Amino acid sequence: MNKREFLNSLKYNLKGLSSEEVKDILFDYEEYFEVGANKGRSEVEIANSLGNPKQLAKQLKATYMIQNAQEKSTTRNLFKAVMACIGLGFFNIIFIMPFLGIVIAVFGVLLCGVAIVIISILVLIISVFMPQYYSDLYIQNTPAINIFLCIGLACLGYLISVGSYSLIKLFYRVSLKYLKLNLKIITGNE
């Protein structure tokens, strides 16, 4: 494989990255070829030393996606980074099942917390402003106890939501560290 074939294959396999990022990567690899040529190496030797452009593109995309997820902390960026790393090896396919299970569980707890808050507020509003619809649920016909109960449940829901959000942030950071370590092991970079 010569320089042109290598760079074309690398460019083709870098689909999904921004055009600016692809230009930067291709510029760097063109420099590798220039430096190698100045040392008397042939284009074929240089291309062989760089490895398979398809696998190299997967590694570069995974690195880019992980960096992007670090800079812009969104669920979408984390999933893109995970999906980019899955293509690097079989072990990563095994990783995705527990990862998805944890994500679903944590988001489920977050949604439960939000639901408790919303329902508590609705029950509070109904009990205060429309007691005729709520009178069957009064504890000893004491509206104050019901109001405090609703406020307490709303606070509990809020605490569950805040705790879940903190877990999501922690899970995000841990996932990024795992992906970086995994990429480091696969690529052999120290």
Query: How far, in Å, CA of 182 to CA of 88, rounded?
Result: 9
Mean pLDDT of 26-54: 87
d(CA 55, CA 68): 20
Q: Please give the backbone phi and psi of residue 42, each rounded to the nearest 5 degrees, phi first.
A: -85, 160
Res 141 pLDDT > 60: no
Structural tokens at position 127? 């009990």
Measured between alpha carbons, how far is 131 from 138 in angstroms, rounded to an integer? 9
pLDDT higher than 90, residue 19? no
CB atoms within 10 A of CB 76: 10
pTM above 0.75, yes or no: no
pLDDT in tens, 23-36: 988 888 888 888 88
The proportion of the chain whose per-residue pLDDT surpasses 90, expressed as a percent, equals: 8
Provide the pLDDT for residue 112.
92
pLDDT tens-digit readout, 94-110 = 777 777 788 788 889 98
Look at residue 137 and tell me whether its pLDDT is greater than 60. no
